[in-house]
A and B are shown apart, each in its own frame.
Chain A
Amino acid sequence: MADILKQRGDTLVVAGLGAPVWDTAAAGDHALNFYTWGGMGGAAMIGLGLALAQPARRVLVITGDGELLMGLGSLATIAVQRPRNLAVVVMDNERYGETGMQDTHTRFGVDLTGIAKAAGFRASGTVYGAAQLKTWIPRFHRDAGPLFCDVKVTTEAAPMVLPAREGPALKNRFREALLGAKAFE
């Protein structure tokens, strides 16, 4: 995760609940990180609303396989809008990590990349291992979207880094960093 975000520049980051939130925070807190502590299934759509509102900025959604599976239709909705500045990256450990490591559907072969591709994402791929990820990271930040990448990761738990969690504080911090004084008009 740290490698993905090292090259972020002024990218706007939406983290889907669970491990992607802890790992995004662990890579370094940032005012342009929006951490979701609820609303499971909504991360990609938050990314779409943000990407349409800020067409000149890159938007990176980093979420988990379980979170995305709860909002699979959003891949179709995003594909219809075709935002060039949106990338959706799934950290896919094939498990529901917050509830006791139960298998997700991807564990049984459900192919999220195939679904994104069939929906009409401009770029899509599945990544196995660090070497492959290295070639994909610049694409997350640069390639014409909508881009989808399913990154297969291990089930090994990283140390939990818990970011701020109060909704209005997260919202206002993000909006102020992005919009300046206009955030409070």
Chain B
Amino acid sequence: MRKVGRKNNGESRVAGHDSRSLMSWPDEVHAILRDLGVRQVGYVPDTGHARLINLVRADRRMRAIPLTTEEEGVALAVGAWLGGERSVLLMQSSGAGNCINMLGMANELRVPLLALVTMRGQWGEFNPWQVPMSQATAPSLAAIGVVVQEVARAAEVGDTVAAAARLAFSTCRMVAVLISQRVVGAKEFK
């Protein structure tokens, strides 16, 4: 069996961390969500969302809601909106496919849905099992009626999330921001 971590120096360059704002984009997104009055944060954990989840958990104005599968978060967002609260769904691209039928409900209802999706299976990926769903994420979300906005630079995550949130909540639509693996860094197996 290959010991991955030992000779991995080349791969960490492939991972392409944008170190300039690596620490700051989750803080920026948290501030944006807070200022928008987002209260319910449904999430399925992902390394890329780890800091944002911690910020949400520490914020008494928000409620962190761990899900057993991503589609729960879509139904949660419908309930939150029916009750007059804004929500956001945090997940990784592997979970996008789990949501499709439930997104059909949000589509029919014209419930605003903001999803922040960290990508696996693309920039510098090591695990081949991540690739098919990753490559199908944008087309399948688009097919069920989600507006897809992709961001590949950490410095642009904040602006993109703010724009996506405005689009979602002001026009009652489903919007997903796909955050590139280039931003979150490829997972290192070691």
What's the least CB distance linking B67 to chain A, in Å? 6
Taking beta carbons and an 8 Å cutoff, which residues of A are in contact with B?
12, 14, 34, 36, 38-54, 71, 73-74, 76-77, 80-81, 167-168, 170-171, 174-175, 178-179, 182-183
A48 to B83, CA, bound (A): 10
Kindly list chain A residues whose C-beta atoms are within 8 Å of the C-beta of B68: 73-74, 76-77
Interface readout for B37-80 with A: 1 if CB under 8 Å, 0 if not? 00110000000000000000000000101111101111111111
Given contacts A41-B102, A48-B79, A73-B72, contact A182 B110 (CB under 8 A): no
A49 & B83 in contact (Cβ 8 Å cutoff): yes
A52 & B85 in contact (Cβ 8 Å cutoff): yes
B105 & A38 in contact (Cβ 8 Å cutoff): yes
Given contacts A39-B101, A39-B105, A77-B68, contact A46 B85 (CB under 8 A): no
A42 to B109, CA, bound (A): 14
Given contacts A39-B75, A52-B80, contact A171 B85 (CB under 8 A): no
The chain A residue with its CB closest to the CB of B74 is A42
Given contacts A53-B39, A74-B72, A182-B84, contact A42 B78 (CB under 8 A): yes
Kindly list chain B residues whose C-beta atoms are within 8 Å of the C-beta of A50: 79-80, 82-83
Kindly list chain A residues whose C-beta atoms are within 8 Å of the C-beta of B78: 39, 42, 45-46, 49
Interface of B is mostly: helix
A38 & B111 in contact (Cβ 8 Å cutoff): no
Taking CB atoms and an 8 Å cut-off, the chain B residues in 159-173 that contact chain A are none
Q: Which of B83, B101, B102 contacts A53 (CB 8 A)?
A: B83
Kindly list chain B residues whose C-beta atoms are within 8 Å of the C-beta of A73: 67-69, 72
What's the least CB distance linking A112 to chain B, in Å? 16
Judge if B97 is at the interface, Cβ distance under 8 Å. no
User: How many chain B residues touch the partner (CB < 8 A)?
Assistant: 32
B63 & A52 in contact (Cβ 8 Å cutoff): yes
* A–B pairs, 17, beta carbons within 8 Å: A39-B75, A39-B104, A40-B101, A41-B71, A42-B78, A52-B65, A52-B80, A53-B83, A71-B71, A73-B69, A74-B68, A167-B110, A168-B109, A171-B82, A174-B82, A178-B84, A182-B84
Judge if B108 is at the interface, Cβ distance under 8 Å. yes
A52 & B83 in contact (Cβ 8 Å cutoff): yes
The chain A residue with its CB closest to the CB of B111 is A171
B71 & A42 in contact (Cβ 8 Å cutoff): yes
What's the least CB distance linking A6 to chain B, in Å? 23
Taking CB atoms and an 8 Å cut-off, the chain B residues in 98-132 that contact chain A are 101-102, 104-105, 108-111
